[in-house]
Amino acid sequence: MNCTRLRSTLTMLLVMVLALPPGLPAANHREAPITALDRLADITDFYAFVSYDNPDKVTLILNVDPLLEPSNGPTYFPFDPEITYAIRIDNNHDAIEDLVFEFRFQNEIRLPDVFTVYVGAGSGIPAPANSPAPVAPGSPLIPPAITALDGEGSQGLGLRQTYTVTLVKGDERIVLNGGQKLIAVPSNAGPRTMPNYPALAQQGIYSLSNGVKTWAGTAEDPFWIDLGAAFDSLNFRAEGFVLPAVLTDAQDANDQANFAADDVAGFNVNAMAIEVPISMLTSDGQKHPASDPRATLGAWGTTSRPAVTVRRTKPLTLPGVRQVQRMGNALFNELIIGVGSKDRFSMEVPSKDSQFAGFALDPLLARALNAIYPAAFNVDLPIPPPPRTDLLPLVQYKNHGALVAAAAGFADPNLPSGPVADVLRLNTGIPPTPVAQIKRMGLLAGDPAGYPNGRRVQDDVVDISARTVAGILVFGLNTFPYNRIGDGVNANDAAYQESFPYLGYAWDGRNSRHVDPGEAGCNGGTCPIN
């Protein structure tokens, strides 16, 4: 590559990066005006993948309530009992749900006179000998440390949330937990109160009917990004990079190290995970090979509130709900949809997304770049012209099937196109990639079980999305610099579990910390400031 072409190409790249909408980063963390005002209904991320240790099942994860500071007591972060949290499945390629898994939560106030919702220490602490009246010395005062969600060891759970999981198929509603009590895993208050938090969190895994598993509670936020740089007009770090937002070959190849600050590090999120047999999800109740169109499902998450709530001592909600947010593909609302349409998009159903098709098929971003910086595109690799058919795998079944088939090496399953719709599509016939072999760049790195074929917690959706919008599917997966665009954050700050529910354990409130630019703590060393 000669110097003139290199300068022109890099100029184009920088313009692309700097012109990306400010909503691009952070998956769905406060991405629309409506959810900036309704944090509890804000979907941060949605995942759907074939379970790593069971290729006959699919794991679906819906995360809500972004950037939870682990130490932020005394009430921490309960789920909202007024919200219906739902995971929706389309199994006949029309972008209309055929199955819905609804999560609803209920509060139990068990220690109404205690100032914090979680309390406990050791085997319990009685009132000391100098305790003034009316509490007599030796009286039970502080309950034992919290070691269980129910029964002995749960006395210190002052606020406990139970929940139900309901399968909706047409007019049929099946409560999958029956009479079984499901308890959400609480926030991690700290080592005195919850001395073995991983063991406590494991108690939150429940086996339901029909081979279904569920888990709900507070978890470590599985997303990662250089958030501060992104919101400073995408002022990504340059130290050690080819250019800002352009990784070296070695940096890009290292899926375990971070070369910039992960600003989501140290934060928690509220999560609902469900593992379901594939045969329970498909249109005919069977598991199919990857080449069979029936193997491909669509999935998305929603949050909905009562259409009318009358506030009084006990809120009164009237029948009917209104969707607050939805999420299918990571970053779709942020990267493609204009700010003036984000709220309407959030409240719409996927089957009506044709009204937003212009955002994806003729992105304003590309036209703005060409108009404002025409000289930057006088190179051999211009911006992709509209219609951006290279983005159709995100919004149509047929094109998604062709992309996945090419990556996985099997014949195109000839899926119907279906409507243009923001639905996360997953081919359930593709087996999971062994954990040690997972590549963070998913399909772009030849890992057919990765995003955008569903989405795993390890998939680097920021880098994948940035490269896709820049045109890597047009210009070629090995074309520089498109194949090296990235924020320098390649890995999560905590280990994921390798089995259901796959999420990392919630950070400890007492000893929590966040990694800042210039501070030792990035996997790859000290995070650069500039």
**Structure tokens given for 407:** 């990556």
For 193-230, what is each residue's pLDDT tens digit? 999 999 999 999 999 999 999 999 999 999 999 887 77
With bands split at pLDDT 50, 70 and 90, how would you rate the model's confidence at 524?
A: low
What pLDDT, on the 0 to 100 scale, is given for residue 468?
A: 86
3-state class (DSSP) for residue 142: strand
User: Which pLDDT does position 2 carry in this prediction?
Assistant: 45
pLDDT at 268 over 80: yes
Q: What is the pLDDT of residue 20?
A: 33
Q: How far apart are CA 159 and CA 109, in angstroms?
A: 5
Strand boundaries in 91-212, DSSP class E: 99-109, 125-126, 140-142, 159-169, 172-175, 182-183, 206-207
Q: How far apart are CA 511 and CA 30, in angstroms?
A: 26
Q: Is the dihedral of CA 75, 81, 84, 85 positive or negative?
A: positive
What is the pLDDT confidence band of residue 367, given thresholds at 50, 70 and 90?
low
Lowest mean pLDDT among 21-25, 100-104, 477-481: 21-25
Query: Is residue 8 very low, low, confident or very high in pLDDT (cuts 50, 70, 90)?
Result: very low
The reported pLDDT for the residue numbered 381 is 58
Task: Report the percentage of the chain scoring pLDDT > 70.
Answer: 83
- Asked whether 33 and 341 are in contact (CB, 8 A), the reply is no
Residue 118 forms beta bridges with which residues?
157
Instruction: Report d(CA 248, CA 472) in Å as an integer.
Output: 17
Q: What does the pLDDT read at residue 529?
A: 59
How confident is the model at residue 12, as a pLDDT? 38
Q: Which residues of 272-310 are buried (b: 16+ CB within 10 A; e: fewer)?
A: bbbbbbbbbbbeeeebbebbbbbbbbbbbbbbbbbeeee
At 118-159, the pLDDT tens digits run 999 999 999 999 999 999 999 999 999 999 999 999 999 999
- Write the CB contacts of 128 (distance below 8 Å, at least 6 apart in sequence): 137
Residue 69 has pLDDT above 50, yes or no: yes
Alpha helices per DSSP H over 203-294: 227-231, 249-253, 278-281
Q: What is the mean pLDDT of residues 234-242?
A: 73
Q: Enumerate long-range contacts of 181-184, CB under 8 Å, 24 or more apart.
A: 181/150, 182/206, 182/214, 182/216, 183/149, 183/150, 184/78, 184/79, 184/105, 184/160, 184/216, 184/217
Per-residue pLDDT, 377: 42
Please state the pTM of the whole predicted model: 0.90
How far apart CA 181 and CA 214 sit, in angstroms, is 12
Check residue 256 and report its DSSP letter.
Answer: S
Of 38-52, 302-316, 317-331, the range with the lowest mean pLDDT is: 302-316
pLDDT band at 4 (very low <50, low <70, confident <90, very high): very low
Query: pLDDT class for 3, splitting at 50, 70, 90?
Result: very low
Average pLDDT over residues 85-90: 98
Q: Is the pLDDT of residue 87 over 50?
A: yes
Question: For the residues of 474-527, what is the DSSP string, one character each?
Answer: HH-TT-TTGGGB--SB-S-SSPPPSSTT-PPBPPPSTT-----TTSEEETTEEP
Contacts of 358 (CB under 8 A, 6+ apart): none
Distance, in Å, from the CA atom of 529 to the CA atom of 473, rounded to the nearest integer, reads 32
Give me the percent of the chain exceeding a pLDDT of 90: 65
Contact between residue 187 and residue 76 where contact means Cβ atoms under 8 Å apart: yes
User: For 122-136, 168-182, 375-389, 454-468, which range has the lowest pLDDT when averaged over its residues?
Assistant: 375-389
Q: pLDDT band at residue 241, thresholds of 50, 70 and 90?
A: confident
